[in-house]
């Protein structure tokens, strides 16, 4: 089959291209619970750029380049091609979206936090979906209704799921009349706006430095748009009568958004951090006297992915996607690096 393969890291992302489009052996079933999925679409993610530049190397590949070569792609959806002998209840041809983690077979985990257990992450530590097909475990699959074609929903597997978990946590506390500030209206942020809109009656303020992203935020249901030009904390304070927002969702997590995000969080409010790149610096005194909560968010559970598919099926969340041929993976990655993707890029074999 054809696949996009990473052969070497590129610390400063200055190479002309990073992945090589080549023929590789077809994936094979090696465990009874394995499933081969024919890829319908694979989302292109900032995490792919982080893998390429070696950010994940100390964690995933500490002993030299033992991880390479690898096929990236951790936001995958497609159709079941082949089932391992232990798999029940699924059929060849079923459309599915893939939870990014392969969890163990302890059924109790199903109701718990899939992403914290041990287990491989296809596209990060074994071959993923920038290919015509890939292997995962039957436990990772969420069946798709006919209303949701795989290539149109693939980015929900990770970007959407991450946005969903953070936005769901915020909406579980947000009351009508309260405010949710969302920093960053890119691939994750534009999904989060719709989720907060669908699951709460809070006012939504969206902050972004990019004009096109703010336009997308307005289409997604934002009540107020704030251009990130240095005055964003003041703007949010004035929109909230000097109080700040009860919930702040930060999808950027670098270039100073963490201190600004905390500054625009109301007393006893919660700052949900999703994007990463800088350290959060705050004095214990400030946290105590203001009773602010800082909450980390990692992907989401299998159950949350199926909840998100319900929202998508009902038309309450829609993905803005830009389609690229699998052969053009490097073009898509470069467009993402240069901030030229509106919504989310998807590779289609
Ligand atoms: Zn991702």
Domains 2-158+300-348 and 160-296 share a fold: no
Round the CA-based radius of gyration of the chain to a whole number and report it: 20
Encode burial over 221-258: b for 16+ CB neighbours within 10 A, e otherwise. Answer: ebbbbbebeeebbebbbebbeebbbbbbbbbbbeeebb
Tens digit of pLDDT for each residue in 317-339? 999 899 999 999 999 999 999 98
Q: How far from chain centre, in Å, is Cα 185?
A: 13
Q: 266 Cβ partners below 8 Å, 6+ apart?
A: 179, 240, 243, 244, 245, 246
Higher-confidence residue of 297 and 57: namely 297
CA of 284 to the centre of ligand 1 (A): 32
pLDDT given for residue 113 in this prediction: 73
Q: How far from chain centre, in Å, is Cα 193?
A: 14
Confidence of residue 72 (pLDDT cuts 50, 70, 90): very high
Q: Which long-range contacts (CB under 8 A, 24 or more apart) does 109-112 make?
A: 110/139, 110/302, 110/303, 111/303, 112/301
CA of 1 to the centre of ligand 1 (A): 23
Tens digit of pLDDT for each residue in 197-246? 999 999 999 999 999 999 999 999 999 999 999 999 999 999 999 999 99
Asked if 344 and 44 count as a contact pair (C-beta separation under 8 A), the reply is: yes
Has residue 107 got a pLDDT over 70? no
Percentage of the chain modeled with pLDDT above 90 = 87
pLDDT given for residue 106 in this prediction: 57
pLDDT given for residue 235 in this prediction: 98
In CATH terms, the fold of domain 160-296 is: Rossmann fold (3.40.50)
Report, as an integer, the average pLDDT of 280-285.
95
CA of 161 to the centre of ligand 1 (A): 9
CA of 290 to the centre of ligand 1 (A): 33
Asked if 102 and 8 count as a contact pair (C-beta separation under 8 A), the reply is: no
Tens digit of pLDDT for each residue in 163-173? 999 999 999 99
Asked if CATH classification 3.30.360.10 holds for the domain at 2-158+300-348, the reply, yes or no, is no
CA of 257 to the centre of ligand 1 (A): 20
Phi, psi of 29 (to 5 degrees): -75, 125
- The residue ranges of every structural domain in the chain are 2-158+300-348, 160-296
Report, as an integer, the average pLDDT of 153-164.
96
CA of 338 to the centre of ligand 1 (A): 17
Has residue 195 got a pLDDT over 80? yes
Nearest to 67 by CA among 53, 77, 75, 57: 57
For residue 69, cis peptide bond before it (omega within 30 degrees of 0):
yes
CA of 159 to the centre of ligand 1 (A): 5
Asked if 161 and 228 count as a contact pair (C-beta separation under 8 A), the reply is: no
CA of 42 to the centre of ligand 1 (A): 10
End-to-end CA distance of the chain: 10
CA of 238 to the centre of ligand 1 (A): 34
């Amino acid at each position: 089959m054809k696949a996009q393969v990473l052969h070497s890291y590129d610390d400063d992302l200055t190479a002309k291209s990073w992945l090589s489009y080549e023929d590789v052996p077809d994936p094979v079933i090696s465990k009874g619970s394995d499933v081969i999925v024919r890829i319908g679409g694979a989302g292109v993610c900032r995490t792919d750029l982080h893998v390429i530049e070696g950010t994940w190397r100390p964690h995933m590949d500490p002993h030299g380049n033992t991880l390479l070569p690898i096929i990236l792609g951790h936001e995958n959806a497609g159709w079941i091609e082949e089932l391992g002998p232990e798999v029940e209840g699924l059929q060849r041809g079923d459309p599915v979206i893939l939870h990014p983690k392969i969890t163990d077979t302890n059924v109790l985990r199903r109701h718990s936090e899939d992403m914290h257990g041990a287990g491989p992450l296809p596209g990060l530590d074994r071959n993923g979906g920038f290919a015509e097909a890939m292997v995962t475990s039957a436990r990772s699959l969420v069946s798709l209704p006919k209303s949701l074609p795989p290539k149109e929903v693939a980015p929900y597997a990770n970007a959407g799921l991450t946005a969903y978990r953070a936005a769901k946590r915020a909406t579980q506390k947000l009351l009508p009349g309260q405010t949710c500030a969302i920093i960053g209206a890119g691939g994750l942020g534009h999904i989060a706006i719709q989720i907060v809109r669908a699951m709460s009656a809070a006012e939504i303020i969206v902050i972004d430095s990019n004009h096109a992203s703010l336009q997308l935020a307005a289409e997604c249901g934002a009540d107020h748009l704030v251009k990130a030009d240095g005055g964003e904390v003041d703007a949010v304070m004035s929109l909230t009568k000097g109080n700040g927002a009860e919930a702040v969702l930060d999808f950027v997590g670098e270039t100073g958004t963490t201190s600004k995000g905390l500054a625009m969080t109301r007393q006893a409010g919660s700052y949900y951090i999703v994007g990463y790149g800088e350290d959060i610096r705050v004095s214990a005194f400030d946290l105590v006297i203001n009773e602010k909560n800082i909450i980390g968010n990692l992907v989401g559970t299998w159950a949350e992915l199926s909840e998100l598919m319900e929202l998508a099926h009902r038309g309450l969340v829609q993905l803005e996607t830009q389609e690229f041929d699998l052969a053009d993976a490097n073009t898509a990655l470069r467009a993402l690096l240069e901030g030229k993707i509106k919504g989310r890029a998807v590779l289609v074999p």
